[in-house]
Amino acid sequence: MTRALMLSTAAIALLTGAADARTIHILMESVPDTRFVQEVVPEFTAQTGIEVDIEVVNYAEMHTKLVPQLVAPAGSYDVIVVDFYWVGEFTKAGWLQPLDERIAASGFDTSVYFPAMMDLVGRVDGVVYMLPFYNYAMALTYRKDLLEDPAEQAAFAAKYGTPLRVPQGWDEYLKQVEFFTRKPDLHGVVNQGLRPDPIAMEWSNYLFARGGEYYDPATWEPKLTSPEAVAALEDYKRNVQEFGPLGAASFGFDEAFNVAAQGKAYSYITYNFFRTAYDDPSQSAVVGKMELAPVPVAGLNGGWGWAIPRSSPDPDAAWQFIAWIESPEIAKRRAALGGSPTRADVFADPDLNAKYPYYPALQALLEGSKNFPVFTYTPQFVEVLGRELSLAVTGEKEPAAALAAANEEFRALLRQDGKLP
């Protein structure tokens, strides 16, 4: 049934795709950076005469919409944006066009991108398939006003014997979570416990913060049964169940953000692009009160890359667009609108630094973040991990048992991918 659906959409795509050669079609997620792109594209059309049609959908729909188009001989999208955890799958399946020749031919400078971003959503096995679009490295967002309140500082110091400050270590952060839990008006933390990707992404921070790893980088041997991983899951569960608001086990990032933006949570580990939203009075009751810091020890890196699918009806126009949207001038314009940069030249821009005083913190964050395992079956691993984490959080499985199950399935997927014997 699904296959038939796929074939028919592919057929429709085939019929409509070729009809208007000078319009490029892009599928994007409904996030702030997409809005900023939409704001600048009229200039591209004015300069080149190429119309840009951006289809904006929910993250949850993107993979489903993309796959049939990518499998088809001619799809309906000229340009796509690729989440880092699809990279392994898309490149393995051969759905993306290598960009090296086009980069060389048009003299595009890729050295400005942070190497970590390039590794995440740029280069795979030495071939450039994508240009990093924006980053969504996760950060600790916290209530600066509470943290800097002398009364709170005194109470905290009295209770824990350590000063209240931007947390330098994971334990320090956990203490703050406990300290600021004053239900029902304030919770120490809000979590995004919805499966699969919200919980999996968020918990990755806990894992890295505890000093754990997904796998041994040298051998790809999974390491989810390590004491650090178990401790990370126990931390996560306690935060959701004891220090978080009711329902956090089912929150997506928007719902969790809402709680934080209503001032009901002291902290929220989330995608850094929410930082600007906290200062938007239309969505936030804590304007000027939230600040961003790197997750203690290390957080999770994330990002999207621009790519041209093999099935792109008009790859030349597609490249023209990508080169334009990633040109230094436009990249800075997007950043000025509130985008999340991936490049050193943007972070070095004095105007932007004046506008966004947290840029150094953000840059430190990008440089210190760790990556989620990227391999062919990343989406499936996210699915598995999300399920097991959710089972543990709701108390249906012991953390150790849940991680053991996730570990085994992770191993099986790595074997299937040839990463493990």
Partner 1 sequence: MAAGLARRDRRFGLLMAGPGLAAMLLVVLFPLVFTAWTSLYEFTLLRPVHDLFVGLGNFAAALDDGGFRHALRVTLAFVVAVVLLEFLLGLVVALALDSVERGRAVYYAILLCPLLMNPVVVGLIWRMFLHPTQGIVNYVIGLAGIAPVNWLGDPAVAFWTLVAVDIWHQVSFMVVLLLAGLAALPPEPYEAARMEGAGPIRAFFWITLPLLRPVITVTLLIRLIFAVRTYDLVYIMTRGGPGNATDLVSYFIYRQAFVTLNLGRAAAMSLVLLAIVLLLTAWLHRYMRSLRA
Q: Which C-beta is closer to partner 1: that of 187 or that of 334?
A: 187
Q: Which residues pair with 156 in a beta bridge?
A: none
x/- binding map, residues 119-158, to partner 1, per CB under 8 A? ----------------------------------------
How many other CB atoms are found less than 10 A from the CB of residue 357?
9
Q: Which C-beta is closer to partner 1: that of 260 or that of 292?
A: 260
CA-CA distances (angstroms) from residue 364 to 231, 259, 373?
26, 27, 21
Q: Which of 171, 255, 279, 345 binds partner 1 (CB under 8 A)?
A: 255
Q: Is the backbone peptide bond immediately before 328 cis, with ω within 30 degrees of 0?
A: no
Q: Which of 122, 188, 222, 245 binds partner 1 (CB under 8 A)?
A: 245
Q: Which of 394, 398, 411, 412 binds partner 1 (CB under 8 A)?
A: 394
Helices (H) and strands (E) in the chain, counts: 20, 10
The phi, psi pair for 81, rounded to 5°, reads -110, 140
Residues near partner 1 (CB under 8 A), total: 42
Residue written as token pair 């840059």: 363
Residues of this chain, 332-371, that bind partner 1 according to CB under 8 A: none
Q: Which C-beta is closer to partner 1: that of 284 or that of 390?
A: 390
Q: Which of 102, 195, 310, 419 binds partner 1 (CB under 8 A)?
A: 195
Contact between 255 and 329 under an 8 Å Cβ cutoff? The reply is no
Query: What DSSP element (H or E) covers 267?
Result: strand 267-271
User: What's the closest the beta carbon of residue 194 comes to partner 1, in angstroms?
Assistant: 6
Pairwise CA distance, residues 200 & 380, whole Å: 11
Pairwise CA distance, residues 111 & 108, whole Å: 9
Pairing of strands 23-29, 51-57: parallel
User: What's the closest the beta carbon of residue 58 comes to partner 1, in angstroms?
Assistant: 9
Q: Which of 54, 56, 67, 166 binds partner 1 (CB under 8 A)?
A: 67
Q: Which of 14, 56, 74, 93 binds partner 1 (CB under 8 A)?
A: 93
Q: Which C-beta is closer to partner 1: that of 195 or that of 332?
A: 195
Q: Can you tell me whether residue 362 is helix, strand or coil?
A: helix
Pairwise CA distance, residues 105 & 58, whole Å: 35
x/- binding map, residues 4-33, to partner 1, per CB under 8 A? x-----------------------------
The phi, psi pair for 145, rounded to 5°, reads -65, -40
Q: Is 393 in the site for partner 1 (CB under 8 A)?
A: yes
In the complex, which residues of this chain contact partner 1 (CB under 8 A)? 1-4, 60, 63-64, 67, 71, 89, 92-93, 184, 193-196, 245-251, 255, 258-259, 262, 264, 376-377, 379-380, 383, 386-387, 390-391, 393-394, 396-397
